[in-house]
Protein backbone atom coordinates (compact mmCIF):
# COMPACT_ATOMS: atom_id res chain seq x y z
CA UNK A 1 0.00 0.00 0.00
CA UNK A 2 1.04 3.61 -0.61
CA UNK A 3 -1.52 5.44 1.54
CA UNK A 4 -2.83 4.19 4.88
CA UNK A 5 -6.11 5.67 6.13
CA UNK A 6 -6.80 5.45 9.87
CA UNK A 7 -9.97 6.06 11.85
CA UNK A 8 -13.60 5.07 12.10
CA UNK A 9 -15.77 2.99 9.81
CA UNK A 10 -19.47 3.39 10.60
CA UNK A 11 -22.87 2.73 9.06
CA UNK A 12 -24.71 5.65 7.50
CA UNK A 13 -28.48 5.24 7.24
CA UNK A 14 -29.52 7.17 4.12
CA UNK A 15 -33.11 8.40 3.78
CA UNK A 16 -35.47 7.15 1.09
CA UNK A 17 -39.20 6.77 0.51
CA UNK A 18 -41.02 3.43 0.73
CA UNK A 19 -44.77 3.23 0.22
CA UNK A 20 -44.96 6.94 0.91
CA UNK A 21 -43.14 6.67 4.23
CA UNK A 22 -39.65 7.66 5.30
CA UNK A 23 -37.24 4.73 5.38
CA UNK A 24 -33.47 4.37 5.78
CA UNK A 25 -30.95 2.24 3.89
CA UNK A 26 -27.72 1.17 5.67
CA UNK A 27 -24.57 2.07 3.75
CA UNK A 28 -20.88 1.86 4.71
CA UNK A 29 -19.61 5.26 5.79
CA UNK A 30 -17.44 7.28 8.10
CA UNK A 31 -15.08 9.92 6.72
CA UNK A 32 -11.86 7.83 6.89
CA UNK A 33 -13.52 4.81 5.27
CA UNK A 34 -14.92 7.05 2.51
CA UNK A 35 -11.46 8.49 1.83
CA UNK A 36 -9.94 5.00 1.64
CA UNK A 37 -12.61 3.89 -0.83
CA UNK A 38 -12.13 7.01 -2.93
CA UNK A 39 -8.36 6.53 -3.09
CA UNK A 40 -8.59 2.87 -4.02
CA UNK A 41 -11.17 3.55 -6.75
CA UNK A 42 -8.75 6.12 -8.19
CA UNK A 43 -6.10 3.43 -8.47
CA UNK A 44 -3.96 4.29 -5.44
CA UNK A 45 -2.82 1.25 -3.39
CA UNK A 46 -4.60 1.94 -0.10
CA UNK A 47 -4.93 0.29 3.30
CA UNK A 48 -7.25 0.89 6.24
CA UNK A 49 -6.34 0.90 9.93
CA UNK A 50 -9.15 0.63 12.44
CA UNK A 51 -11.42 -1.60 14.49
CA UNK A 52 -14.60 -3.03 13.00
CA UNK A 53 -17.37 -4.87 14.82
CA UNK A 54 -18.16 -8.56 14.34
CA UNK A 55 -21.87 -7.70 14.14
CA UNK A 56 -23.80 -7.74 10.82
CA UNK A 57 -23.01 -4.06 10.24
CA UNK A 58 -19.33 -4.77 10.79
CA UNK A 59 -19.51 -7.57 8.25
CA UNK A 60 -21.02 -5.08 5.79
CA UNK A 61 -18.16 -2.66 6.44
CA UNK A 62 -15.50 -5.35 6.01
CA UNK A 63 -17.07 -6.59 2.78
CA UNK A 64 -17.08 -3.00 1.49
CA UNK A 65 -13.34 -2.72 2.13
CA UNK A 66 -12.67 -5.98 0.30
CA UNK A 67 -14.96 -5.13 -2.64
CA UNK A 68 -13.07 -1.85 -3.07
CA UNK A 69 -9.69 -3.58 -3.09
CA UNK A 70 -8.49 -1.97 0.13
CA UNK A 71 -5.72 -3.71 2.07
CA UNK A 72 -7.24 -5.02 5.34
CA UNK A 73 -4.10 -6.32 7.07
CA UNK A 74 -4.49 -3.62 9.75
CA UNK A 75 -8.24 -4.05 10.25
CA UNK A 76 -9.01 -5.54 13.67
CA UNK A 77 -12.28 -7.23 14.63
CA UNK A 78 -13.88 -6.13 17.88
CA UNK A 79 -16.84 -7.62 19.81
CA UNK A 80 -18.44 -4.24 20.50
CA UNK A 81 -21.29 -2.96 18.28
CA UNK A 82 -20.89 -0.81 15.17
CA UNK A 83 -21.44 2.95 15.32
CA UNK A 84 -24.47 4.23 13.40
CA UNK A 85 -25.37 7.59 11.86
CA UNK A 86 -28.72 8.67 10.46
CA UNK A 87 -28.42 11.17 7.63
CA UNK A 88 -31.03 13.78 6.77
CA UNK A 89 -30.64 15.69 3.52
CA UNK A 90 -32.57 18.90 2.89
CA UNK A 91 -32.72 20.11 -0.75
CA UNK A 92 -29.93 22.62 -1.29
CA UNK A 93 -28.62 22.19 2.26
CA UNK A 94 -25.76 20.42 3.96
CA UNK A 95 -26.40 16.82 5.10
CA UNK A 96 -27.19 16.55 8.81
CA UNK A 97 -25.73 13.56 10.66
CA UNK A 98 -27.18 12.16 13.89
CA UNK A 99 -24.85 9.71 15.56
CA UNK A 100 -25.88 6.75 17.71
CA UNK A 101 -23.75 4.36 19.67
CA UNK A 102 -21.89 4.22 22.96
CA UNK A 103 -18.56 2.43 23.33
CA UNK A 104 -18.62 1.21 19.74
CA UNK A 105 -15.95 -0.93 18.10
CA UNK A 106 -14.33 1.90 16.13
CA UNK A 107 -13.47 3.81 19.33
CA UNK A 108 -11.30 1.11 20.83
CA UNK A 109 -8.16 1.20 18.73
CA UNK A 110 -5.25 1.46 21.19
CA UNK A 111 -1.50 2.11 20.82
CA UNK A 112 -0.96 -1.65 21.22
CA UNK A 113 -2.99 -2.19 18.01
CA UNK A 114 -0.78 0.03 15.84
CA UNK A 115 1.46 -1.56 13.19
CA UNK A 116 4.95 -2.19 14.47
CA UNK A 117 7.21 -1.73 12.70
CA UNK A 118 5.38 0.78 10.54
CA UNK A 119 5.38 -0.41 6.89
CA UNK A 120 8.11 1.32 4.92
CA UNK A 121 6.13 1.19 1.67
CA UNK A 122 3.57 3.70 3.00
CA UNK A 123 4.11 7.18 1.53
CA UNK A 124 1.31 8.91 3.45
CA UNK A 125 -1.15 8.41 6.26
CA UNK A 126 -4.54 10.12 6.42
CA UNK A 127 -6.67 10.48 9.55
CA UNK A 128 -9.23 12.69 11.29
CA UNK A 129 -12.98 13.00 11.89
CA UNK A 130 -14.69 11.38 14.91
CA UNK A 131 -11.59 9.34 15.69
CA UNK A 132 -9.78 12.41 17.06
CA UNK A 133 -12.47 13.22 19.64
CA UNK A 134 -13.03 9.74 21.05
CA UNK A 135 -10.62 7.85 23.24
CA UNK A 136 -8.79 5.52 23.21
CA UNK A 137 -8.55 5.84 19.41
CA UNK A 138 -7.69 9.57 19.58
CA UNK A 139 -4.71 8.83 21.81
CA UNK A 140 -3.65 5.93 19.57
CA UNK A 141 -3.71 8.06 16.42
CA UNK A 142 -1.77 10.87 18.07
CA UNK A 143 0.80 8.27 19.09
CA UNK A 144 0.92 7.01 15.50
CA UNK A 145 1.44 10.39 13.82
CA UNK A 146 4.11 11.30 16.35
CA UNK A 147 5.86 8.07 15.40
CA UNK A 148 5.71 8.46 11.60
CA UNK A 149 5.56 12.19 10.83
CA UNK A 150 9.30 12.60 10.33
CA UNK A 151 9.38 10.09 7.47
CA UNK A 152 5.81 9.93 6.17
CA UNK A 153 3.39 12.54 4.79
CA UNK A 154 0.56 13.14 7.25
CA UNK A 155 -2.82 14.28 5.92
CA UNK A 156 -5.50 15.49 8.35
CA UNK A 157 -9.19 16.30 7.88
CA UNK A 158 -10.89 17.17 11.20
CA UNK A 159 -14.36 16.85 9.60
CA UNK A 160 -15.75 18.66 12.63
CA UNK A 161 -19.10 17.54 14.04
CA UNK A 162 -19.87 20.04 16.83
CA UNK A 163 -22.50 17.76 18.39
CA UNK A 164 -19.77 15.19 19.03
CA UNK A 165 -17.39 17.62 20.79
CA UNK A 166 -18.35 17.96 24.46
CA UNK A 167 -15.53 20.38 25.34
CA UNK A 168 -14.64 22.98 22.69
CA UNK A 169 -11.72 24.58 24.64
CA UNK A 170 -10.20 21.12 25.08
CA UNK A 171 -10.68 20.40 21.39
CA UNK A 172 -8.94 23.64 20.41
CA UNK A 173 -6.09 22.84 22.79
CA UNK A 174 -5.57 19.43 21.17
CA UNK A 175 -5.91 21.06 17.73
CA UNK A 176 -2.58 22.79 18.25
CA UNK A 177 -1.01 19.50 19.29
CA UNK A 178 -2.24 17.72 16.14
CA UNK A 179 -0.99 20.40 13.75
CA UNK A 180 2.63 19.94 14.79
CA UNK A 181 2.64 16.59 13.01
CA UNK A 182 0.55 17.43 9.92
CA UNK A 183 1.74 18.15 6.36
CA UNK A 184 -1.63 18.53 4.58
CA UNK A 185 -4.56 20.09 6.43
CA UNK A 186 -7.93 19.83 4.69
CA UNK A 187 -10.89 21.83 6.00
CA UNK A 188 -14.43 22.64 4.96
CA UNK A 189 -16.01 26.06 5.29
CA UNK A 190 -18.03 24.79 8.26
CA UNK A 191 -14.82 23.57 9.93
CA UNK A 192 -13.40 27.08 9.57
CA UNK A 193 -16.55 28.55 11.12
CA UNK A 194 -16.17 26.32 14.18
CA UNK A 195 -12.45 27.00 14.61
CA UNK A 196 -12.21 30.72 13.98
CA UNK A 197 -12.69 33.58 16.42
CA UNK A 198 -14.14 36.98 15.50
CA UNK A 199 -10.83 38.79 15.50
CA UNK A 200 -9.20 36.58 12.84
CA UNK A 201 -9.85 36.57 9.11
CA UNK A 202 -9.74 33.16 7.40
CA UNK A 203 -6.47 34.07 5.73
CA UNK A 204 -4.88 35.12 9.01
CA UNK A 205 -6.05 31.94 10.68
CA UNK A 206 -4.71 29.72 7.89
CA UNK A 207 -1.31 31.40 8.01
CA UNK A 208 -1.18 30.84 11.77
CA UNK A 209 -1.75 27.14 11.13
CA UNK A 210 0.88 27.02 8.39
CA UNK A 211 3.42 28.28 10.91
CA UNK A 212 2.51 25.42 13.27
CA UNK A 213 3.47 22.60 10.91
CA UNK A 214 1.45 22.04 7.73
CA UNK A 215 2.98 22.68 4.31
CA UNK A 216 -0.47 23.00 2.71
CA UNK A 217 -3.90 24.06 3.93
CA UNK A 218 -6.80 23.24 1.61
CA UNK A 219 -10.30 24.66 2.16
CA UNK A 220 -13.37 23.37 0.33
CA UNK A 221 -16.19 25.84 -0.28
CA UNK A 222 -18.90 23.72 -1.88
CA UNK A 223 -20.30 25.33 -5.02
CA UNK A 224 -17.67 28.11 -4.72
CA UNK A 225 -14.81 25.67 -5.32
CA UNK A 226 -11.67 25.18 -3.27
CA UNK A 227 -8.65 27.12 -2.01
CA UNK A 228 -5.11 25.95 -1.39
CA UNK A 229 -2.74 27.94 0.81
CA UNK A 230 1.03 27.68 1.06
CA UNK A 231 3.18 29.99 3.14
CA UNK A 232 3.43 32.40 0.17
CA UNK A 233 0.62 31.61 -2.30
CA UNK A 234 -3.15 31.15 -2.54
CA UNK A 235 -4.80 29.23 -5.38
CA UNK A 236 -8.54 29.09 -6.07
CA UNK A 237 -10.33 26.73 -8.46
CA UNK A 238 -13.99 26.60 -9.39
CA UNK A 239 -15.87 23.29 -9.46
CA UNK A 240 -17.41 21.83 -12.61
CA UNK A 241 -21.15 22.25 -13.06
CA UNK A 242 -23.14 19.11 -12.28
CA UNK A 243 -26.67 18.14 -11.32
CA UNK A 244 -26.42 17.65 -7.56
CA UNK A 245 -28.30 14.69 -6.05
CA UNK A 246 -26.77 15.18 -2.60
CA UNK A 247 -23.43 16.19 -1.12
CA UNK A 248 -22.95 13.24 1.25
CA UNK A 249 -19.29 12.18 1.06
CA UNK A 250 -18.27 15.01 -1.27
CA UNK A 251 -15.63 16.34 1.11
CA UNK A 252 -14.14 12.88 1.55
CA UNK A 253 -14.13 12.38 -2.22
CA UNK A 254 -12.30 15.70 -2.57
CA UNK A 255 -9.65 14.55 -0.08
CA UNK A 256 -9.20 11.28 -1.95
CA UNK A 257 -8.88 13.10 -5.26
CA UNK A 258 -6.39 15.60 -3.90
CA UNK A 259 -4.14 12.95 -2.36
CA UNK A 260 -4.44 10.70 -5.42
CA UNK A 261 -3.35 13.45 -7.80
CA UNK A 262 -0.41 14.39 -5.59
CA UNK A 263 0.56 10.72 -5.59
CA UNK A 264 0.41 10.46 -9.39
CA UNK A 265 2.36 13.71 -9.79
CA UNK A 266 5.11 12.33 -7.55
CA UNK A 267 4.48 15.09 -5.00
CA UNK A 268 3.34 12.99 -2.06
CA UNK A 269 6.68 13.34 -0.32
CA UNK A 270 7.51 15.72 2.51
CA UNK A 271 10.36 17.40 0.63
CA UNK A 272 8.16 18.05 -2.44
CA UNK A 273 5.21 19.38 -0.45
CA UNK A 274 7.39 22.01 1.22
CA UNK A 275 8.29 23.50 -2.17
CA UNK A 276 5.42 22.30 -4.35
CA UNK A 277 5.16 23.86 -7.80
CA UNK A 278 1.99 25.91 -8.20
CA UNK A 279 1.06 24.10 -11.42
CA UNK A 280 1.10 20.78 -9.58
CA UNK A 281 -0.93 22.22 -6.73
CA UNK A 282 -3.51 23.60 -9.17
CA UNK A 283 -3.74 20.24 -10.95
CA UNK A 284 -4.39 18.49 -7.64
CA UNK A 285 -7.09 21.00 -6.71
CA UNK A 286 -8.80 20.74 -10.09
CA UNK A 287 -8.77 16.96 -10.02
CA UNK A 288 -10.12 16.89 -6.46
CA UNK A 289 -13.03 19.19 -7.35
CA UNK A 290 -13.93 16.91 -10.28
CA UNK A 291 -13.93 13.85 -8.03
CA UNK A 292 -16.11 15.65 -5.48
CA UNK A 293 -18.48 16.94 -8.16
CA UNK A 294 -18.94 13.45 -9.60
CA UNK A 295 -19.79 12.13 -6.14
CA UNK A 296 -22.52 14.77 -5.82
CA UNK A 297 -24.28 13.36 -8.91
CA UNK A 298 -25.35 10.18 -7.11
CA UNK A 299 -26.79 9.36 -3.75
CA UNK A 300 -24.61 8.88 -0.70
CA UNK A 301 -20.84 8.51 -0.36
CA UNK A 302 -20.20 6.79 -3.69
CA UNK A 303 -17.01 8.24 -5.22
CA UNK A 304 -16.06 7.49 -8.82
CA UNK A 305 -13.79 4.81 -10.16
CA UNK A 306 -10.96 6.24 -12.24
CA UNK A 307 -12.43 4.91 -15.51
CA UNK A 308 -15.76 6.61 -14.75
CA UNK A 309 -14.04 9.91 -14.15
CA UNK A 310 -11.96 9.67 -17.31
CA UNK A 311 -15.11 9.06 -19.38
CA UNK A 312 -16.98 12.06 -17.97
CA UNK A 313 -16.95 15.49 -19.58
CA UNK A 314 -17.54 18.53 -17.38
CA UNK A 315 -18.41 22.13 -18.04
CA UNK A 316 -17.15 24.91 -15.79
> Using one digit for the tens of pLDDT, what is the confidence trace for 7-34?
999 999 999 989 999 999 999 999 999 9
Looking at the domain assignment, is residue 316 inside a domain?
no
Looking at the domain assignment, is residue 214 inside a domain?
yes
Helix ranges restricted to H, the chain = 31-41, 56-67, 137-148, 168-179, 189-195, 202-212, 250-264, 270-274, 278-296, 306-310
Q: How many Å apart are CA 266 and CA 103, to the nearest integer?
A: 40
The reported pLDDT for the residue numbered 83 is 97
Q: Domain count of the chain?
A: 1
Q: How many Å apart are CA 191 and CA 156, to the nearest integer?
A: 12
Q: How far apart are the first and last CA of the chain?
A: 34
How large is the average pLDDT for residues 169-198?
Answer: 92
> Using one digit for the tens of pLDDT, what is the confidence trace for 125-159?
999 999 999 999 999 999 999 999 999 999 999 99
The answer, yes or no, to whether residue 211 has pLDDT greater than 60, is yes
> Using one digit for the tens of pLDDT, what is the confidence trace for 80-110?
999 999 999 877 677 899 999 889 999 999 9
CATH number at residue 220: 3.40.1190.20
Domain around 193 = 3-310
The reported pLDDT for the residue numbered 294 is 95
Q: Is the dihedral of CA 118, 106, 131, 60 positive or negative?
A: positive
Q: Is the peptide bond before 136 cis (omega within 30 degrees of 0)?
A: yes
Looking at the domain assignment, is residue 315 inside a domain?
no
The reported pLDDT for the residue numbered 196 is 86
Looking at the domain assignment, is residue 99 inside a domain?
yes
Q: Long-range contacts: 91-95, Cβ < 8 Å, 24+?
A: 94/190, 94/247, 95/246, 95/247, 95/248
Q: How many Å apart are CA 126 and CA 137, to the nearest integer?
A: 14
Looking at the domain assignment, is residue 218 inside a domain?
yes
Amino acid sequence: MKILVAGEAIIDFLPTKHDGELAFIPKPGGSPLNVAVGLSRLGVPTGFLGKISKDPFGQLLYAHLVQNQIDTKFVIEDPRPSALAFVFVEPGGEPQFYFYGLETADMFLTPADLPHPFPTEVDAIHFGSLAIVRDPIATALLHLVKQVHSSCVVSFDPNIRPSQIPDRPRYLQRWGEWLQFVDILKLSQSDITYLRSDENSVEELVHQWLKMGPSLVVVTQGAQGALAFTSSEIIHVKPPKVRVVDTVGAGDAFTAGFLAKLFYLGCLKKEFLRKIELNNLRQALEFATKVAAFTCTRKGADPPWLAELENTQYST
